[in-house]
A and B are shown apart, each in its own frame.
Chain A
Amino acid sequence: MALTNEYIQEKLVEKFNDQVFQFSTDSGILSFESSAEMNLKLLQFLYDEPSLGFTFLTDLCGVNYPDHSGAELVVVYHLHNFIENIRLRYSVSVPVAKPDVFTATKLFESANWMERETYDFFGINFIGHPNLKRILNVDEMDYFPLRKEFPLEDQTRIDKDDEMFGRG
């Protein structure tokens, strides 16, 4: 039996009831959310349950929604079942004041650097991570640059007199 999005959703709801929510399907990928404390339990279930078998972590990244009060930071997991060839998107959101998420490194070695990158750019604190430090930016940096509170330079600004960059 081929694995379908409906079956995954059914299975998850059966196991976790109302702790999983916001099911939707964009461009063929089932996505859903849960609370941040549940992330390891869910990933473990998706990994271990024989009829699901999401054993490959394709991608892990952060997103910042400054307007979602109390859930400003989101961690998005893209999982893949190679045998059934089906993808899944799972996300958890945390408040910017206390951005704590459990690490997935125990399940997936690949999560190590992806979590470091997410920490580096969004300041999400992955609890239990073996080596949570900056990876692409300099260690001395004291802010998290991909958060929306750091805008890029306004391209229409005229106060700069910098002939080297063609703005003179």
Chain B
Amino acid sequence: MDILKYILKRLSFILSLVCALVVISQAMNTDEYDRYLAGYKERAEFLSMAFDTSSNLTYYSVAAKYAGGTYIDEADSMLLELLKDPRGDMFWMFPVIGAYLYGKEVMSPEVRDAVRNSWKTYAPYRGDTENHWCMYYTSLYLAAEQWPDLPGQEWFNGKSSAENLQKAREYIIHWIEITTTIGQGEFDSPDYLPEYMIPMLLLADFAKDPAMRKRGKMMADYLMADFAVEHLDGQYVGGFSRITEPGVYEPLRSNSSAYAYLYFGTGEPRITQWILFPALSRYRLPEIIYRIAVDRDEAYVHKERKRVRNVIRYGDEINPPVYKYTYMTGDYALGSLQGGILQPIQQQTWNIRFTSGRPHTAVFGLHPYWSGYELAMFFPQRKKTLVADVVPSKQTYNQPDKWTGGSPYERTFQHKNTLLVLYDIPEGTNSEHISGFFPKTLDEVIHGDSGWIMMRAGNTFIGWYPFREYDWIEEEINWRLHSPYRQNGYIVEVRSTDEYQSIADFVSALQDAIPETNLQQNEVEATYRNPEGDKLQFTFPDRRYLNNSPVHIEDYALFDGPYLQAEVGSQMLTIRYKDMVRVLDFNTLKISEQ
């Protein structure tokens, strides 16, 4: 009996201790999030102050001044001046309605009338991309809410307030539905994240309809969670639907990095117009998303399913799926898209991004492809003149040395931190070579006798095994691998000091890891066993075997990783971090937390 009492006493003591530890841990966690919120506030104030005190004639300066409340007269006169010459289409719509919403209670009646009148006299173009439409309809929705009951002649498009509100609402709900069922089309774009976040934040802050406010908030969570799982030290990582130069080789120059700074406290501060509305917003990043964004203690595989931008011809379906695979660590990320043409012009099929060697923290390869046929899949103009139509606004599109763009003749197969890339380029294609980008900020580059090009970026080791001969060309900030063979490929291996003590050990491990290849036209294939013993067999374009078992990428969920899970068609996203869970249910517009 005494023994039983003793055991019970000990048990209760241990239980109390565990409870106390849990409470302390929770308190510490709460303290950490409080510290995060305090830091966020400082960063937001710093960013908005830059616009509040600026005399640059922009809607962003105007919005900041109205929100700050100090320079109202200056904001009024600036806005009147700006509204003399509205321009910019959907890029005009959201900052002007944003400035109005922040200032409508304090601006002069004259300015208020001028804003209203601008929605009558200026007819903005709706655009031809997903982000254009998101900005256009979100702005139109908010404007129609502000000025209800007006007839069609009071609006630029001849529709009444009620009609504009209804049509805009329909599109916003449609966009959310398609994004949460089959994925975003302009997915994971380091450059275009703000074009979605700002409309959602304006909805979350200013929509009069509570359901629309909720949608805005939930989609902001959704977009930021999507970013957080592929975030490394201020950079968006993984394959991208759309990225431009210089962000493709200087990742912190992308607009999403300004968001990483504001929301995650990583990277570097950047004063860009794209960060002003987030900095002013009442939206706060949920703790769980912040923690996912900054915890890189454990390496993980994250898979996603997105969709191709609307295919209007030369295809079998309007939105074929895109399969993403990303391997995340604290030092580097290796990510790839499985597929061909997903987005013309600005796609990046694969890359490695790492934490060392700023500003050029990326290595990647591509087939620099362009064609009118590709553009005509997505744009309605004539395919024989489309390249000429596109080049004035996207100057690098038809350049053989460009650093962005997808190709139907490029395919990837990734398993953790091993990537196999194959090319089978028909004769006469623009262009007939492949390129690789290697920044000069790499700490070491070794062209070994084994055929492997070995590199080190801080704690990250990279091996690149080209299947064909290549030229190694020195350029201003990088070396360029140029391999003029149409049937081609390479292996990419990435490891860190967690796995190998030195680059010499890594070189040694790859010394005998030589793939078997067949580089005949229409028969391009490779078999490769990595240092961990995994065997990858890949036949162009889409036959993949891992350790002799077929890989079914078509089974990918919308999100599948330790932190995010969502099934195709579900309209639900489950966010997990340790014992925290947050579920975004777009079917019921409910957020549940544990």
Partners in one complex: no
A interface list, Cβ under 8 A from B: none
B interface list, Cβ under 8 A from A: none
